[in-house]
A = this chain, B = another copy of it.
Amino acid sequence: MEIAAERTGEFDVLGIGNAIVDVVAYAEDALLAELGLVKGAMTLVDEERCEFLYRRMGPAHEVSGGSCANTMAALASLGGRAAYIGRVKQDQLGEVFGHDIRAAGVTFRSPPSPDGPSTARCLVFVTPDAQRTMATYLGACVELAPEDIDPELVRAASITYLEGYLWDRPEAKAACRKAADVCHAAGRRLALTLSDPFCVDRWREEFRELVAREVDILFANEAEITSLYEVADFDAALQEVRRHVHFAVLTRGAKGSVVVCGEELHVIDAVPPERLLDTTGAGDLYAAGFLRGFTAGLDLGACGRLGSLCAAEIIAQYGARAERPLRPLFARVNGEAAHS
């Protein structure tokens, strides 16, 4: 297979994303309706709106988040070598973010902003059906710019993994373009996650071009990939993907996932969770499991299975950072692969 992983870099994956602390609370559906929040979506809000929503939110807990950062933290917890670039402010929540990602074993050298907006927060409302609805105040993330991209770090990673959410800020997008250029010039691979169907809606044309021309590995869920190609269902999206994308990993919630690479197609079952509490982070953790398996040289089916196991682990708890170490999951899939 043309896209075979090479474990040659100092890092398996470098992630670039919005550095966010999640504020997670249980909420009834009625509250979402009252607050005018679009269920299941991520909405960008300004500081004032964020404060208003926070006042209406139930008792919460704080946990480091950010889609790409979640993936990097999980990758490290699985034993992978991960690095991360993202911006926080020098405040208590910024310290929390920096502590958590480093404590997970991720290399994180981005200096916190000494002034400007506070560390980004994402209010996550978890409804009884385990769905999550998010309102994000980007705060210090808006300071992420091309000069934050250390070319050495990009060259040192086998894969550079970008989150689609970065397209929402022109400076962050420019940072991604710089990272993509360095990545390709160094013969490394570029991965992208589409992040959110509404984000795809905002940047459809740019994403289509990027995916067709520059992205080596695309991660998307069903809603995102159908939005990208403006098609009615997953099967139609799959035909578009096969035509336009070199290599794609498509997640479908309880319906499992599909890995597409040219003529090769793998259908992978979802793993039922111990209990279903909060779907936040399911996609982020799936990507982590997949990337860990991929950079360790596992076959694509095993990569998908590790992704599914990681997703099952995270939806059995609140929040998108695993409360328990994930390394046993890698050992399990690696063991299965060795015995098959």
Contacts and interface: CB of A to CB of B under 8 A. Distances in A.
Contact of A57 (B60, B103, B318): B103
Contact of A92 (B61, B64, B91, B99): B91
A298 interface: no
A104 B73 CA distance: 31
Interface in A49-86: 54-55, 57-64, 73, 77
A59 B64 contact: yes
A324 interface: yes
Given A103-B57, A324-B26, A96 B62 contact: yes
Q: How many copies does the complex hold?
A: 2
A321 B58 CA distance: 12
Contact of A60 (B59, B91, B99): B99
Contacts of A59: 64, 73, 77, 99-101, 103-104, 321
Given A57-B103, A103-B58, A26 B323 contact: yes
Given A92-B91, A93-B92, A325-B26, A61 B60 contact: no
A63 B61 contact: yes
Interface string A30-65: 000000000000000000000000110111111110
A100 B25 CA distance: 10
Interface residues of A, number: 34
Given A54-B99, A99-B54, A324-B26, A61 B93 contact: no
A321 to B, nearest CB: 6
A55 B54 CA distance: 29
A27 to B, nearest CB: 10
A305 B321 CA distance: 34
A61 B277 CA distance: 17
A277 B323 CA distance: 10
Interface of A: 25-26, 54-55, 57-64, 73, 77, 91-93, 96, 99-101, 103-104, 118, 274-275, 277, 317-319, 321, 323-325
10 contacts: A54-B99, A55-B99, A58-B103, A59-B64, A59-B104, A59-B321, A62-B62, A62-B96, A92-B92, A92-B93
